[in-house]
Structure 1
Amino acid sequence: MNQFDHFSTALADPTNQPRTTFEALCAFAEQTVGVKLFTMMSFDAETREASRSFSNMPEAYPELGTKPVNETWWTGHVLDGHKTFVANDIDAIAEVFPDYELIASLGCESVINVPVIINGRVCGTINCLHEAGFYTPERVAASNALKLPGAAAFLLNQITSSRSVL
């Protein structure tokens, strides 16, 4: 079974959702672009708040509450501009993320933040981190394949959070 089929099966499984789907998306990202640290951040365009929906390293990056978005050029680029952000060294990461020392301590010195857009708005970002110089132009192009399964995962998270029934 390929990773896309694995993701589709996880999405359909009613067991332990949305975690089952998030874990399958993490595996899909590992195969597609490569990751050491994988997180998903939900974003509310109206309140300008973000929350971590998933982390494959919850000890370092727990899935807790909401926080106001730190308005920087990064937010203009990713959240408002709907563009993927890539940094391939820790100095570039330090320019936009105040937790760069924690990132480096996890063996990560490059990042790709993929905005997931539904109905004209960014609902969240898929964040893949790896060693320095890891996110080549080929891997960045491949990250577009994460957007559709990412949208499904964010929508599932909304459905399960609001306790809606399909």
Structure 2
Amino acid sequence: MTEYSDAIAQFDAAIAVAKGDEAYAALQALVQATVGAKLFTVMIVDMDKELSSRAYTSHPVDYPTSGTKPLNYGPWFDIVHKQRAYFVANTIEDIAKVLFDHELINALGCQSIVNMPVIIGDQFIGTVNMLDVEGHFTPERVQMIRDVISVPAKLAMLAAQRG
């Protein structure tokens, strides 16, 4: 048994009955129990319309789920969308290079981030975004996200769509 077996079992039980946002809440609980994140959001992408929308947030006042925004083409887009790679930054200075809302992120006590692309059926459907204090996303934590969070993230997105 691994140190995160209980967290996976709890996610499994929660996702089995989840509807809509409950699926994202189950994923957030799994993230909290394994790698930790002060701020957790899920973005959905419509590549045909070139729009993204926040589907779930742990901070609804600061990062509401309403509305859409046009895709922001640039270095972050190239990494996460085109290369389908994780974007990892462990300082607010590195975050500021690619995210316009870096001041709000910093004000929330977050100076590190992992944006995990979610790919299903060879389609980029969104990102799971985890933020925490400076230096939080060590190589070991990023590997845990790959090993423990990536498949449940796909499941949560599918379950939420079935809502």
TM-score normalised by structure 2 residue count: 0.92
Q: Which residue is 1:10 aligned to?
A: 14
How far 1:138 sits from its partner (Å)?
Answer: 0.3
Give the equivalent residue in structure 1 for 2:100: 98
Runs of 4+ residues deviating >4 angstroms: none
SS of structure 2 residue aligned to 1:125: strand
Deviations 1:131-164 (A, max 9, x none): 011110000111112111111111122222xxxx
CA contact (8 A) 2:24 2:160 kept: no
Instruction: Measure, in 2, the Cα distance between the counterparts of 1:112 and 1:54.
Output: 16
Distance in 2 between residues matched to 1:159 and 1:93, nearest whole Å = 33
How many residue pairs get aligned? The number is 158
Q: Tell me the C-alpha RMSD between the 2 structures.
A: 1.3
Compute the displacement of 1:32 (Å): 2.1
Amino acid at match of 1:2: D
Match of 1:151 in 2: 154
2:49 aligned partner: 47
Is the partner of 1:2 in helix, strand or coil? helix
* d(CA) in 2 for partners of 1:48, 1:5: 36
Q: Which moved more, 1:40-49 or 1:132-141?
A: 40-49
How far has the Cα of 1:81 moved from its partner?
A: 1.0
Residues 52-63 of structure 1: matches in 2 within 5 Å?
52-63=54-65
2:120 corresponds in structure 1 to: 118
Amino acid at match of 1:13: V
Amino acid in the other structure paired with 2:16:
A
Residue type of the partner of 2:117? P
Corresponding position of 2:36:
34
Distance 2:95 2:32 in 1: 20
Aligned-partner SS, 2:60: coil
> Aligned match of 1:21 in 20, 23, 29?
23
Q: Distance in 2 between matches of 1:149 and 1:106?
A: 26
After TM superposition, list the pairs within 5 Å mapping 1:71-86 onto structure 2. 71-86=73-88
Quote the Cα distance in structure 2 between the aligned partners of 1:47 and 1:85: 23
Aligned identity (percent) is: 39
Q: Any idea what SS the aligned residue of 1:124 has?
A: strand
Q: Deviations over 1:72-116 (max 9, x none)?
A: 111111012110010000011011111100000000000001111
Which runs of no fewer than 5 residues in structure 2 stay unpaired? none
